[in-house]
Amino acid sequence: MYRAEAENIIVVKDLVKKFGSFIANDHLSFEVKKGEIFGFLGANGAGKTTAIKILCGLSYPTSGSLNVGGFDIYREREKIKKNIGYMSQKFSLYDDLTVFENIRFYAGIYGLRRKVIEERASGLMEKLDMKEARDMLIRDIPLGWKQKLAFSVAIIHNPKIVFLDEPTGGVDPVTRRQFWDMIFEASREGITVFVTTHYMDEAEYCDRVSIMVDGKIAALDTPEKLKSIYGASSMNEVFLKLARIKVE
Amino acid sequence: MKRFLGFVVKEFYHIFRDYRTLLILFGLPAIQLLLFGFVITNEIKNAKIAILDQSRDEVTRRISEKVLSSGYFILEKNLRSSGEIGQVFRQGNVKLVLIFGPDFAKNLDKTGNAKVQIIGDASDPNTANILVNYIQGILSNYIISLNAEKIPLQIIPEVRMLYNGQMKGVYMMVPGLMAMLLMLISALMTSLSITKEKELGTMELLLVSPLKPVQIIIGKVFPYVFLAFADACIIIILGNTVFGVPVVGSVALLLAESFLFICMALSLGILISTITNSQQIAMMISLVALMLPTILLSGFIFPVENMPLVLQWFCHIMPPKYFITIIKSIMLQGNGFRHIAFETGILAGFTLLFIFISVKKFRIRLA
C-alpha cells in the first residue's frame, strides 16, 4: 500500500555502479515507502539485478548514498542483513533437503529459535496446503510449490523489506497469479516488497513502478499515473513508449 | 554459534544423501590403497624368457638352472637358432632372451672368456632394465662362486636396506596415497560443494543472510575436515593390517601432520572455488592441476632427483611432496618433530598463503 506520507524505508541517492567502463547504474535516485509494493522494471540488461544486488549487500556501489531499512549500506551492513529477505529467480532451495529441512535451515541462519521454527513451519505448510509434502525432497515437488516455498522462506524471519529478483520466471500464469496473492498478503502484513520483473501485467499489481532504461530511471510513479502521462491503456504500452524514446 | 551448527548439520545432510559423494569419500581410499598396494609394484616375478643355448654343456645348463630357479623367470621356450629370436619377441610373451655362445664351457675354461648375450624387450624399458639386472646378478654370482678360491682380492658388499627391509613397494604407496587422497577429498570436495551453492543460487541467499562469509566458508569445509581425517585413519589402518606398513613414530604426530595437510588442501579448495563459479571447472582444476602434480611431481612414484632441473623446481612448490616426506619420516623412520619441522613450516606457510589469496579474491568478487 503506497501512502505518500509514509516513512521512507529505502532511500537511494545518486547510486552509480560501474564495471570497468560500463555503467550499469547511472545516478539512480528513488525512495521506497514503508509497506508499498515497489516494482522495479526494465528490459534485460537495464541494470535491475545490479541495483537489487547492491541494495541487498551482495555487491558494493561505486558511489552514491544508500539507506535500507533505516541503516546505512556502507556502515550498517550487518543490521541491514537481519532486516531484509531475498529471493532470486532461481528459487534457491536445496534439492537434497526436504521441505521442512529447508525451512528449518533458512530460519536457523536468521537465528530463529527451534520452537518458533516448528510453529512457523507448520503454519506455513498449512497455509501453502503442503502438509503432506513436509518430508518430501525439494527435487520431488513441482516448480510452483518450490516458488511459493522459496518466497515463504525469504520472509520467514519477518523482515522489514523483501527483495524479489524476477520471482515469477518460468512459471505458468495461474501460478504467477497465486504467487502475487502471496505478495499482497505479505504487503498487508507490513512487509515492504521490492520486486523486479519484466512481465508488464505484473507491473499493474505494484503500488508504484520505476522503469529503468539503459541504467537510468526513465519513469517512476503509480501505474495509473504512468498510463495517463504516456496516454497508454496498459503498462506494456507505457514500457514500449519509453523504450522507443530511448531508441530515437 | 547455533546458526553455524545448523549450517554444519545441513552440510552433513548434503554429504550423506549423495551416495556418489559417500563413495568417493569412503570407497575411493580403500579401493585405491588395495589397487596401488597389490597391482602397482616394481618387483617382477615369473617373467617369461627364452634361452638359446648354442653350446649345451654342463656350465650353461647350470647357469640356466640358476636363472630359472631364481623365481623371477619362467622358461617359455628353448630356441634352436638365432632366427627364432625375432619371432619369439614378436609373439609378445617373452620378455627376454638369454643366448650362450658356442663352446661356452670350453672357452671359459681355456681363455677365461665365454660369451653370453642378453636381449631384452625394451618396448617396456623399466621391465627390460630390471630383468637384465636380475640376470647379470645371477651371472656374476655364478662367476664368484666358481672362482671363490682362485681370486684373492674380492669386494663383497653386505647390503642392508633400512626402514623397509623387504623393499616392499607398498611402503612407498601408503604415504603417497595419503597425500593424494587427502588432497582429492579436501580440495576437490570443498571446491565442488562451494561452487554447487553458487550454481544453485543459494550462495546469494547465504550472503544476504546475517551469516558472515567466514562462517559460510568454515561451515562448508568443516565436515570435510572430519571426513578427510577419517580417511587418513582408514588408510593408515588398512596399510597396517593388510600390507603390514608400520607406524614406527608417534601416531599423534602423524595425525597432527595429516590435519595440517588437510587444512592446506581445504584452503586450496576454497581458493579454487573463489576462482570459478562452476562445478565442472572446479573439478577440472582439482583433477588436472592438483592430482597430476601430486602423483607425478611429489616423489610419490618417480624420484624427484631424476627429473630435469626445471621440473625439480616445480616439485619444490608442490605441497604434497613435503607431506610425503613428513609421513615417511614418521611412519617408516620413526622420527620426531625436530626432523620434520622444516617441512611442517612449509605446509603451514602454504596454508596461510592460500587463505590469504582466497580472502583477497573473495573481497574483489564482492566489490
Please report the number of interchain residue pairs, chain A to chain B, with beta-carbon separation below 8 angstroms.
71
| Domain-embedded: residue A40 | yes
pLDDT for the residue numbered B332: 87
Residue B269 has pLDDT above 60, yes or no: yes
B130 — pLDDT class (breaks 50, 70, 90): confident
Cβ contacts (< 8 Å) between A56 and chain B: which residues? 208
**Chain A: residue whose CA lies nearest to B15:** A96
pLDDT tens-digit readout, B18-62: 888 888 888 888 888 888 777 766 667 788 999 999 988 888 999
Residue B99 has pLDDT above 50, yes or no: yes
In which element (H, E) is residue A84 found? strand A84-87
Nearest CA-CA distance, residue A67 and chain B, Å: 16
| pTM of the model as a whole | 0.79
Structural domain including A73 reads 8-93+160-247
- Whether the CA torsion B300, B303, B309, B311 is positive or negative: it is negative
pLDDT for the residue numbered B367: 47
Contact yes or no for B119/B85 (Cβ under 8 A): yes
Nearest by CB to residue B3, choosing from A78, A88, A108, is A108
Residue A196 φ then ψ, to 5°: -100, 145
Q: Tell me whether A106 touches chain B (CB under 8 Å).
A: yes
Q: Tell me whether A59 touches chain B (CB under 8 Å).
A: yes
| Domain-embedded: residue A218 | yes
Q: Tell me whether A108 touches chain B (CB under 8 Å).
A: yes
Q: Note whether A92 contacts B204, CB cutoff 8 Å.
A: yes
Residue B186 has pLDDT above 60, yes or no: yes
User: How crowded is residue A53: how many other Cβ atoms within 10 Å of its Cβ?
Assistant: 23
Q: Note whether B201 contacts A88, CB cutoff 8 Å.
A: yes
User: How crowded is residue A10: how many other Cβ atoms within 10 Å of its Cβ?
Assistant: 24
For the domain covering B47-146, report its CATH number.
Answer: 3.40.1710.10
Nearest by CB to residue A110, choosing from B18, B202, B210, is B210
Q: What is the CATH number of the domain that holds A230?
A: 3.40.50.300
pLDDT tens-digit readout, B187-233: 888 999 999 998 888 988 998 999 888 888 889 989 999 899 999 99
Percent of chain A scoring above 90 in pLDDT: 61
Residue B134's nearest CA partner among B55, B56, B42 is B42
Cβ contacts (< 8 Å) between A105 and chain B: which residues? 6-7, 10
B294 — pLDDT class (breaks 50, 70, 90): confident
Q: Tell me whether A18 touches chain B (CB under 8 Å).
A: no
The per-residue DSSP string of B231-265 comes to: HHHHHHHHHHHHH-----S-HHHHHHHHHHHHHHH
Q: Note whether B202 contacts A95, CB cutoff 8 Å.
A: no
| Domain-embedded: residue A2 | no
pLDDT for the residue numbered B252: 94
pLDDT for the residue numbered A25: 92
Residue B109 has pLDDT above 70, yes or no: yes
The per-residue DSSP string of A134-194 comes to: TTSBGGGS-HHHHHHHHHHHHTTT--SEEEEESTTTT--HHHHHHHHHHHHHHHHTT-EEE
Residue A71's nearest CA partner among A79, A63, A62 is A79
Q: Note whether B207 contacts A111, CB cutoff 8 Å.
A: no
Q: Note whether B13 contacts A88, CB cutoff 8 Å.
A: no
Q: Note whether A59 contacts B201, CB cutoff 8 Å.
A: no
- Selected residue of A109, A112, A163, A166 to mutate for chain B interface (largest B Cβ count, 10 A): A109
A119 — pLDDT class (breaks 50, 70, 90): very high
Q: Tell me whether A144 touches chain B (CB under 8 Å).
A: no
Q: Would you list the domain boundaries of chain B?
A: 2-40+167-366, 47-146
Q: What angle do CA A127, A132, A134 make, to 5 degrees?
A: 80
Strands (E), chain B: 47-53, 73-79, 96-100, 116-120
| Domain-embedded: residue A153 | no
**Helices within A57-155 (DSSP H only):** 77-83, 99-109, 114-127, 143-154
Output the CA–CA distances (angstroms, integers) from residue B137 to A135, A195, B73, B140, B205, in the order listed. Answer: 71, 83, 13, 5, 70
pLDDT for the residue numbered B165: 67
Interface list for B 119-138 with A (CB within 8 A): none
| Domain-embedded: residue A165 | yes
Q: Which residues contact B100 (CB under 8 A, 6 or more apart)?
A: B51, B52, B53, B54, B55, B60, B63, B114, B115, B116
Output the CA–CA distances (angstroms, integers) from residue B147 to A50, A103, B62, in the order listed. Answer: 90, 87, 15
Distance, in Å, from the CA atom of B330 to the CA atom of B315, rounded to the nearest integer, reads 21
The pLDDT mean for chain A works out to 90
Interface list for B 191-230 with A (CB within 8 A): 200-202, 204-211
pLDDT for the residue numbered B146: 76
Q: Tell me whether A25 touches chain B (CB under 8 Å).
A: no
pLDDT for the residue numbered B25: 82
Q: Are strands A216-221 and A208-213 parallel, antiparallel or unpaired?
A: antiparallel
Residue B342 has pLDDT above 90, yes or no: yes
Number of structural domains chain A divides into? 1
Over residues B139-160, mean pLDDT: 74
The pLDDT mean for chain B works out to 86
Residue A166 φ then ψ, to 5°: 45, 65
| Domain-embedded: residue A110 | no
pLDDT for the residue numbered B314: 85
Cβ contacts (< 8 Å) between B13 and chain A: which residues? 96-97, 101
Q: Note whether B200 contacts A58, CB cutoff 8 Å.
A: no
